[in-house]
């Protein structure tokens, strides 16, 4: 069942009309979409230096299957060892929502899917993600990531 069908089902069952997304700030939305693009270009092309720069020192990475990781070094090594040349991330267009967090940064939510390069016949399935971006010294870094597959 697609996201739109799910939303329609929720609305029908609860008799509640869910609002459509409109970015509170077009500028912030564009900045975070750009940062997402930079990070996942690095992710898809094993640009480890870029990945390291985009994770905050106090990163918390929550993965529904892998649990919580709080070591930047371990997260970067896991990407290097388990993702590079093995997995490609594809953003599902039009699914990113961005909301400001006062005096901190922004929260990004969206849908993406991953392609396993080692199993080319495997069908990817959409999964949800949440990223908390922190603005430090005019630079955006990922502080919290929630990845649900």
Q: How many domains does the structure of the chain reveal? A: 1
d(CA 73, CA 29): 29
Residue 115 lies in a domain: yes
Residue 16 lies in a domain: no
| pLDDT (tens digit per residue) in 5-46 | 655 665 567 677 767 888 899 999 999 999 999 999 999 999
Domain containing 77 — which CATH number?
A: 3.10.450.50
Q: pLDDT value at position 1?
A: 47
Q: pLDDT value at position 20?
A: 87
Q: pLDDT value at position 12?
A: 67
CB neighbour burial string for 63-95, b if at least 16 within 10 angstroms, e if fewer: eeeeeeeeebeebbeebeeebeeebbbebeeee
d(CA 62, CA 118): 24
Q: In the chain, what percentage of residues exceed pLDDT 90?
A: 74
Residue 87 lies in a domain: yes
Residue 69 lies in a domain: yes
**Average pLDDT taken over every residue of the chain:** 91
Domain that includes residue 85, residue range: 23-148
Number of residues that make up the chain: 149
């Amino acid at each position: 069942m697609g996201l739109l069908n799910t939303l329609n089902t929720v609305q029908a069952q609860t008799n509640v009309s869910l609002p459509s997304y409109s970015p509170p700030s077009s500028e912030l939305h564009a900045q975070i979409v750009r940062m997402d693009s930079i990070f996942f270009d690095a992710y898809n092309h094993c640009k480890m230096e870029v990945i390291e720069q985009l994770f905050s020192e106090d990163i918390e990475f929550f993965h529904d299957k892998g649990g919580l990781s709080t070591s930047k070094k371990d997260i970067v090594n896991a990407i290097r060892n388990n993702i590079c040349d093995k997995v490609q991330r594809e953003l599902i267009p039009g699914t990113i929502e961005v909301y400001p967090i006062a005096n901190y940064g922004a929260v990004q939510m969206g849908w993406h899917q991953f392609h396993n390069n080692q199993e080319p016949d495997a069908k990817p399935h959409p999964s949800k993600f949440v990223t908390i971006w922190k603005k430090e010294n005019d630079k955006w870094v990922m502080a919290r990531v929630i990845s649900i597959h």
